[in-house]
Amino acid sequence: MEIKATTRVYSAATVPQIAPTKRFQWEEAQNCWVILYPEGMIKLNSSSAEIMKRIDGRRSVAEIIADLKQAYPGAELDNDVYAFMEVAHEQQWIRPKPGQ
């Protein structure tokens, strides 16, 4: 998925946080990471879960990417992380931290 620079909500300096109506957690019954919300649940693949694990409302997108690169040396993942952020934002799983 390619995101045009003009449509990006998230920049390197943006600090994403999980939306207040969502909860990210390991779901033993599903044997995967999920996002829970009042109407249901979203099962995440392993790549999405690795990004979501790092969205804590304190780290910027650049810091999240740096942490992922340390965990997965040699992986070219910048574009994938930005694409995930935009989709997660559109789905209202995450949002930029207020006051940025």
Could you tell me the residue ranges of all domains in the chain? 5-92
Strand order of the β-sheet with 23-27 is 23-27, 32-37, 40-43
What confidence score (pLDDT) does residue 53 get?
98
pLDDT tens, N- to C-terminus, the chain (100 residues): 454 445 689 999 999 999 999 999 999 999 999 999 999 999 999 999 999 999 999 999 999 999 999 999 999 999 999 999 999 999 999 999 987 6
For residue 39, give the 3-state DSSP assignment.
coil
What confidence score (pLDDT) does residue 5 get?
47
Give the fold, CATH level 3, of 5-92: Outer Surface Protein A; domain 3 (3.90.930)
Assigned token pair, 62: 């650049």
Q: In angstroms, rounded to a whole number, what is the distance separating the alpha carbons of residues 25 and 27?
A: 6
